[in-house]
């Protein structure tokens, strides 16, 4: 997606050979026009997938997921990282090791929002080692629902997440595929 590539080239900051900072438009400050274009592109790519719900993880997945949900006319659920006093029922949950924070945490979704009839599109901001995606897949399976596919804003193709999802047979659509961050330079696939 050219507009996203341009934004990453112009405003992305390479923190290391492994980490790209995009807090100017995705992870802290949000560019609504770009998020709308990203949501529209996910909607176009998954138009034939029979999607009934979108699932993401708080916080950075929410903006692109909501824009996709608006276009597709389906609800958006974000897995919560912190237990809330208002979430009292038995939750569907999975542990996820955070690539950027280097800590393990539990993410959870209320079973009230997912059923075995649902075909779920997973949307997330980054795909690195795939831990976040695998946790969401686990939760969706616990609900007996089907994974329709995964929409990723920025995939770092040099890490293992994409290959694992491909091997598991999931459809993955990434709007930017970063091949390398070596030498402080973003190279796209």
User: Which positions touch ligand 5GP (CB under 6 A)?
Assistant: 19-22, 27, 57, 60, 99-100, 124-133, 161
Residue with Cβ nearer ligand 5GP (22 or 148): 22
Cis peptide before 59 (omega within 30 of 0): yes
User: Which tokens is 99 given?
Assistant: 């690539």
Contact call for residues 110 and 154 (beta carbons, < 8 A): no
Residue with Cβ nearer ligand 5GP (39 or 161): 161
> Closest separation between CB of residue 170 and ligand 5GP, Å?
13
Percent of residues in the chain assigned helix, strand, coil, to nearest 5? 30, 30, 40
Contact call for residues 80 and 87 (beta carbons, < 8 A): yes
Q: 156: annotated binding-site residue?
A: yes
- CA pair distance 130, 147, nearest whole angstrom: 15
> Closest separation between CB of residue 132 and ligand 5GP, Å?
4
> Closest separation between CB of residue 60 and ligand 5GP, Å?
5
Q: 183: annotated binding-site residue?
A: no
Binding annotation for xanthine? 20, 27, 156
Write out the binding residues for 5-phospho-alpha-D-ribose 1-diphosphate. 128-132
């Amino acid at each position: 997606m050219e507009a996203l590539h341009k934004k990453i080239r112009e405003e992305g900051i390479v923190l290391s050979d492994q980490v790209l900072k995009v807090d100017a438009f995705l992870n802290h400050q949000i560019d609504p026009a770009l998020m709308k274009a990203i949501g529209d592109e996910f909607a176009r790519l998954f138009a034939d997938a029979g999607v009934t719900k979108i699932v993401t993880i708080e916080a950075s997945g929410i903006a692109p997921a909501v824009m996709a949900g608006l276009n597709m006319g389906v609800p958006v659920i974000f897995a919560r990282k912190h237990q809330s006093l208002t979430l009292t029922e038995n939750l569907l949950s999975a542990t996820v090791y955070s690539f950027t924070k280097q800590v393990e945490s539990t993410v959870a979704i209320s079973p009230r929002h997912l059923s075995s009839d649902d075909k779920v599109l997973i949307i997330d901001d980054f795909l690195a080692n795939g831990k976040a995606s695998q946790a969401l897949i686990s939760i969706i399976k616990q609900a007996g629902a089907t994974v329709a596919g995964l929409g990723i804003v920025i995939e770092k193709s040099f890490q293992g997440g994409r290959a694992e999802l491909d091997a598991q047979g999931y459809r993955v659509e990434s709007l930017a595929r970063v091949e390398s961050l070596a030498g402080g330079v973003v190279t796209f696939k």
